[in-house]
Structure 1
Amino acid sequence: MPRIGITGHSNLTAESVPAVAEGIRAALAGHDRDELIGVTCLGRGADQVFARVVLELGGAVEVVLPASDYRERKVKPDNAAEFDELLGQAKTVHTMPFDTSNREAYMAASEHLLDNVDTVIAVWDGGPSGGHGGTADVVDAARDRGLPVTVVWPAGARRE
């Protein structure tokens, strides 16, 4: 079964989401949908777009949460319903052994994700990380492990 991980920007503009979703669909096109497993930390933006596309295609979603306080501390009220809906559809949920969501916990969750996938989709504009554990750091870690990385950054995609 193909296990595909996601890393990407959390601050996509609303106008970018349809093009990013289409880019993810295209990146997943070569995979058997009946056996597709998407692994995500379920952050706002790219991770949630990826999870929604995997589910729409008939795949399963596995979630890796960075810390036990992630839902309460990091999920904003305007994103809580979508987060909860996607989390509720997850095949499995693994919470990393951190009490507090911080850069260390985010990178540990991404490392766990990388340990459990065959390939990675990166919704990434090619820029440097905004802090330890950002998209560029995860792309570098995936490439260091020899994991194939497919970058999705469609024309017109923007970050807030």
Structure 2
Amino acid sequence: MDTTFKMENQVFNYRVAAVWIENGHVLLHKQTHESHWALPGGRAQMLEDSKTCLVREIKEELDAEAETERLLWVTENFFTYSEKAYHELGFYYAVKSKGGEQHYRSEPFFGPEGDHLTYQWVPLEEVQKVNLYPEFLREALNNLPSGTEHLIMVDNKD
């Protein structure tokens, strides 16, 4: 059971995301019908720790073996999406391929779960131009912190 709780038009999410960088590119994904991008990952399940969640999500979404390197950001993100108020607790990890296997591709691709998610490796120098959320990532991906940072973001735009 995912740790997503809904009350009327409010939603709480516990999300874990991968900062996966290869060949100067970061892996992003988006819902095929959406215009905004995000880092791959997903919602933790009840009683699942964040590292286990991320390894599981990468396996499910990309059929890839990955391992977490270090925790970069813990975020409290407050935003409105589809007329619902979201409170999202996020854990963002630097990850790498287990065994050193390279997964970089120059073209967009779909994962094994089907065509509802489009993946793309985006050059780090172009991330600022991408419609990427949360917005702090547009700058932060080119300047990864040396330790874990805690960020609180409030964005009530729909």
Fold equivalence (TM over 0.5) = no
Q: What's the TM-score bracket when you normalise by the shorter of the two chains?
A: under 0.3
Larger Rg belongs to: 2
TM-score, normalization: structure 1? 0.24
TM-score, normalization: structure 2? 0.24
Higher strand share: 2
